[in-house]
Chains A and B, each alone.
Chain A
Amino acid sequence: VTVPGAWYLVLAAVLFGVGATGLLIRRNVLIMFMCVELMLNAVNLTFVTFARLLNDIGGQASVFFVLVVAAAEVVVGLAIIVAMFRRRAAATADDIHALKG
């Protein structure tokens, strides 16, 4: 007995909802980044699920690109967070205005 594909999609939707809620609830920018990663992973799960449902390798190739973009995003985002910490010893979303040039 195999699991129907819709279950994976529901799990991905729940994961995306958890990530979106966390992004809105938390004020620590690091945690907000982790929530973005959660949302990206939920989308990856739908890509892989559809790759199997539609018998198409393109879904898995898309996951590859999402991985690369997520890595680039984390690199730049963490650099910004470290820059924020240099300005003031806090990293909440309200402190970003300290980076105005």
Chain B
Amino acid sequence: VSIPLFLLMAALTVASALTVIVHPSPIYSALGLVSTLFMLAVLFLGLDAQMVAVLQIIVYAGAIVVLFLFVIMFLGVDRREAAGPEATKFQKPLALILGVVALIEILILSGVTKWVSGQHSTAGALDGPGENVQKLGQSIYTRYLLPFEMTAALLVIAVVSAVVLSRRQQPSASELSSAEQEHLDSTEREPQ
């Protein structure tokens, strides 16, 4: 990636990220998030991460942000943040100071150059033979097979928990099968 392109992308990324955190309307925040994610996908392309860039667009910008937008639409688009009393006094200035301090800390830490242990990776080289997708897939399905299966379990748990969380507390009798109705009756008879 040439330097002007990087600078343009970096400026757009930071500008969209700022839109996310300062805009009062959640819709604009979500659109700022989409924009940030697209800019990051371009930067990933420049870093020889074609597969990650595609995943970024499909999964993040395509699925996760649509989920955000869906919930925003579900709850009401024109809802603004309530200007009620803050739980903590001076929360915003304090938060700004904390954010700047965190940023400076990270920048100082990244100046420390003793990050690399000198050990060679067991996951495979980035510039080896084959396409990026092939190398990434080979790495995930061999070296990272156990974490991969754990993420599958995690996704199942997340889906089940989302269903449980969004169920109504007392389903009406017409929604239940007779077996469920009997189960509900028997559990209600038991003392809590």
User: Chain B contact residues (Cβ within 8 angstroms of A): what range?
Assistant: 35 or more
What is the total number of residues of chain A having a CB less than 8 Å from a CB of chain B? 69
Q: Are A48 and B147 in contact (CB under 8 A)?
A: no
Q: Known contacts A57-B136, A65-B151, A75-B162; is A82 also within 8 Å of B3 by CB?
A: no
Contacts of B123 in A (CB 8 A): 56-58, 61
- Stretch in B36-44, B173-181, B183-191 with 4+ CB within 8 Å of A: B36-44
Q: Are A28 and B60 in contact (CB under 8 A)?
A: no
Q: Which residue of A lies closest to B108 (CB)?
A: A13
Contacts of B1 in A (CB 8 A): 2-3
**Main DSSP-derived SS at the A contact region:** helix
Interface string of B124-161 (1 = CB under 8 A from A): 11111000100110011001100110010011011101
Q: Known contacts A19-B17, A38-B20, A75-B158; is A30 also within 8 Å of B2 by CB?
A: no
Interface string of A16-32 (1 = CB under 8 A from B): 11111110111110110
B81 to chain A, nearest CB (A): 5
Contacting A at CB under 8 A, from B51-84, are 51-52, 55-56, 59-60, 63-64, 67-68, 71-72, 74-75, 81-82, 84
Contacting B at CB under 8 A, from A30-63, are 30-31, 33-35, 37-38, 41, 44-45, 48-49, 51-52, 54-58, 60-61, 63
Those 9 A-B pairs whose CB atoms lie nearest each other, nearest first = A21-B99, A22-B21, A17-B103, A24-B95, A58-B123, A72-B158, A79-B165, A56-B121, A79-B162
Which listed residue (A1, A30, A68, A80) contacts B151, Cβ 8 A?
Answer: A68
Interface residues of A (CB under 8 A from B): 1-3, 6-11, 13-22, 24-28, 30-31, 33-35, 37-38, 41, 44-45, 48-49, 51-52, 54-58, 60-61, 63-65, 67-76, 78-83, 85, 90-92, 94
